[in-house]
Structure 1
Amino acid sequence: MNYFSSHFKLGILGGGQLGKMLLYETRKFDIHTKVLEASEDAPCKIACNEFVLGNLMDFDAVYDFGKQVDVLTIEIENVNLDALEKLEEEGVKVYPPTKALRIIQNKATQKLFYVDKGIPTADFSRFAYASEIEDAVENEALDFPFVWKAAQFGYDGQGVKIVRTFDDLKELPPGECITEKMIPFKNELAVIVVRNPSGQVVTYPVVEMEFHPEANQVEYVICPARIDENVAEKAQEIALNVSREIGHIGILAVEMFQTQDDKILVNEVAPRPHNSGHYSIEASYTNQFEQHIRAILDLPLGRTDSKVAGIMVNLVGAEGHTGDVVYENIREIMAMEGVTPHVYGKKQTRPFRKMGHVTIVNEDINEARRIAQRVKETIHVVSQ
C-alpha cells in the first residue's frame, strides 16, 4: 500500500500531546491523518488533516470513526475495546491489537497476566471495591504501607497512591483496584520495545526515571540509565519477553523496578509512545514517534541507539496555579547548551498537569543531568 502523498488514511484515537508528536512524523511523511478526541481544544487539532469530536469510550463514536480509516492506532489506552474488536472483525487494521489492549487496559488483568506468564512483578492483591481494603488490613491480610492503584483510567500520576494509614484509605475512590507491596528499589527503569506485523523487533536503550515524590509523576528520564551492563541486559530480556507474550504491534513501554539485589520486576506497560521515550526526539537516530508510525504501517524499523546522551525534564503546572498558562523563564533555558523545550499546546494550566517537556543533550550524561537540574529550577509553568 502507498501511504505517502496518497488517499491512505491513518486514524488516531486520542488528541493529546502524544498524538501531536505523532503528527510531527506523519506530516514529515505526508501521511493523511484523522483524529478522534472529546475535547475541542486538543493539542492534535492544529496538526491533523481531519479532526472529529467524539467520546473515546463510546462504542458508536469509535466504530463509526474506525470505518473511515485504513489503519487505526491509539495515543491513549482508555478507548472502547468492543468497537475496536468489531472493526478488526470487519477487516480494519487496529494496532495495537484489541487482544493486547484487553490485557493492558485493566491493571488487575495486566498483573494476573504477568503471574500467569511467569513474568516477575511485585506481589499484589485485587479488590472489587476499595472498601474491601480496610477489611483486609484489619484481618492482617494486608500490611501498611502499600501502593494503591485504580484498575482503570489512571494516568499522569492519577489513580496511584501510597497508603500508609487508615486515614489514607478514606481518600480512595470506591471502584475496582489493586494493592501492591512496596518495593525497596534502587531504580525505576523503562525499556521501549517496537514490533511490526512482519515480526521485526527492536528495543531502545534502558532509561532511568526519577519521580516526583508527591505527584507520582516522572520528573526526569535519563538515557542511558546509570546502571551495570548486566542489569541493563536483564531489563532488555524481560521487556522483550513481555512484548512477545502480549503480542503488541507498535510501541510498548515496559516500566520496571531494579531491586536492591538487582532483580528486575515489571511494574506496568503502555502500548503507545510514552513519556520515557520523549528524549529520543533529540537524542536518538529514530525517535519513538517515527518508530511507532513505521511499526503500525509495517515499514522497516529504524535505528534505536542514541547519537548522544539525553535527559527529559517534564514541565508540569506549578502548585497554586490554575488558569491561562505562562512559561516563566523559557528564554533563559533556551540559552542553555543542548536544551530544547516542547510545549504541548494546552492553554490552561493546573497543578501537576503535564504541559510540556524539555530535552537536554550532551556527550557527558553527568553534565546533561546537571543542566537538567538547572532547567527544572529555572522554568516555571504558572498562570497569568
Structure 2
Amino acid sequence: MTKNYFSSDFKLGILGGGQLGKMLLYETRKFDIYTRVMDASSEAPCRIACNEFIQGDLLDFESVYNFGKDVDLLTIEIENVNVEALEKLEEEGITVYPQPRVLRTIQNKARQKLFYVDHNLPTAPFSRFAYSSEIRESIAHGGLSFPFVWKSAQFGYDGKGVKVVRSEKDLENLPNVECIAEELIDFENELAVIVARNADGEEKAYPVVEMEFHPEANQVEYVICPARIPDAVARKAQDVALKVSRELHHVGLLAVEMFQTRDNEILINEMAPRPHNSGHYSIEASYTNQFEQHIRAILNLPLGNTESKVAGIMVNLVGAEGYTGNVVYENIDEILQLDGVVPHIYGKKETRPFRKMGHVTIVNQDVDKAREIAETVKKKIRVISN
C-alpha cells in the first residue's frame, strides 16, 4: 500500500532553493506534500512556495545534517551539497534520493568519466590530472595534444569550469585544480535525454532533445523537443541514457547530455541527477513534466507518461551583458502576443551578465514553426537592469 504523502504529516526535504526547487514546488503544492527547503540565500526563489524555509550552507556538514534529521525523505535540486552529511543521514534511516553514492560519483567529473569507462559506456577519450599545472608536462612529453577541452573536476556548471584549449596561451590563468582534459569532439549535435527511475526499478525515458548553445557563454540558448535527428539516432541516444541509469541504480531523475558525432555515434558528455534545464519544455509540452516525474520517482509512485503532446522549445532568459542590478524584463508584453509562448520568471531580483533569470517555452504542433517563434522571442526579450 502506498504511504500517504498527501495532506499528511510526511515531510519532504529539498536541498537547494533555486529555480529548479521552485518548479519542483509547483508539483508538491499540486499534491499538497509538506516541504522543507534549505538554501544559502535569504532571497532564494523557493522561500515563498515551501512550507518551511531554512537558510544554511549546502556544503556545511552540520547544516545539512541538522536539516535532514527533521524530514522523512531528502532530495536535491543541485548536486553540490555535503555528501558526508547525506551518508550519515542515510545510515541513520533517512531516505535520501538520489542516493549519496550517486552524488559522490557525479559531483566529480573525473570520477564520472571513470564510471563510464568502467561500465562500458561511450564517452570521449580523456586524461585526468591532480592539478592543471601537470597538463604542460603531459603536452611536452606527447601525452596530450591540442586541441582539447579542460574541465575542472569539481564545482563546474553552466559553462563555468570548462575551457576549450587550442594553444599554450589558453593554458594561462587556468585554476590549478583537479581536472580532466578531454578530446575535443567534432560533433553534429548536442543532445540530452532525461530518464526517470523509482525504487522499484520502473524506468522511463523522455524524448531526445537537441540543444543549441551560445558560442561565448557556453550556455544553452535553445532546447528543442523533439530533436531534429533520424529515428535510429534518437533510439540509440535513449538506449545509452537508459543504460547509464541502470548502471548507476539511481532513484529520481537523471539528465544525460550527449554528443551525436558526424558518423551518428553517441558519446556521453556528462550527467546530472536531478531535474534539468534540458527538461523545462516538459512543463507545457509533456503529459508528465520532469518535476512531477521526479516527485513520483523519489516517492516510489508509478511513473507518468513521458511523451510530448506538442513540440516544445525552451529559450533561456539570461542577464544581458553590461547590466548588473535590479532586474527589468523588457518586451514581455510583446512576446505574450505570440501563440504558444509561456514565460517563466525565476524570482531572482538581481541580474548580472549571463545569469539564468528565467526561461520561455514555445509550444506548437510543428517543431519548425516553434523554432521560428523562439527566434523572435530571443530577439525581442531582454533581461536588463534599471
The answer on 1:16 being equivalent to 2:18 is yes
Secondary structure of the residue aligned to 1:34 is strand
Aligned to 1:325: 327
- Aligned pairs for 1:1-384 (under 5 A) are 1-384=3-386
In structure 2, C-alpha distance between the alignment counterparts of 1:48 and 1:165, rounded to whole Å: 49
Letter of the 1:11 counterpart: G
In structure 2, C-alpha distance between the alignment counterparts of 1:73 and 1:292, rounded to whole Å: 10
Secondary structure of the residue aligned to 1:6 is coil
Secondary structure of the residue aligned to 2:67 is helix
Contact 1:191–1:239 (8 Å) recurs in 2: yes
- 1:143 deviation in Å? 1.4
* Deviation sequence 1:292-322 (CA, Å, 0-9, x none): 0011011111110000000000010111111
Letter of the 1:314 counterpart: N
- 1:167 deviation in Å? 1.9
Question: Gaps spanning 5+ residues in structure 2: where?
Answer: none
How many residue pairs get aligned? The number is 384
* Deviation sequence 1:73-118 (CA, Å, 0-9, x none): 0000001111101111111000001111111110000001100111
Please provide the CA RMSD for this pair.
0.7
- 1:139 deviation in Å? 2.3
Contact 1:103–1:246 (8 Å) recurs in 2: no
Secondary structure of the residue aligned to 1:210 is strand
Secondary structure of the residue aligned to 2:300 is coil
In structure 1, C-alpha distance between the alignment counterparts of 2:378 and 2:136, rounded to whole Å: 39
Q: What is the percent sequence identity of the aligned residues?
A: 73
Secondary structure of the residue aligned to 2:81 is coil
- 1:25 deviation in Å? 0.4
Mean alpha-carbon deviation: is it higher for 6-15 or for 153-162? 153-162
- 1:140 deviation in Å? 2.3
Question: Gaps spanning 5+ residues in structure 1: where?
Answer: none
In structure 2, C-alpha distance between the alignment counterparts of 1:62 and 1:176, rounded to whole Å: 25
In structure 1, C-alpha distance between the alignment counterparts of 2:254 and 2:274, rounded to whole Å: 6
In structure 1, C-alpha distance between the alignment counterparts of 2:353 and 2:182, rounded to whole Å: 26
- 1:171 deviation in Å? 2.2
Q: TM-score, normalised by structure 2?
A: 0.98
Contact 1:211–1:218 (8 Å) recurs in 2: yes
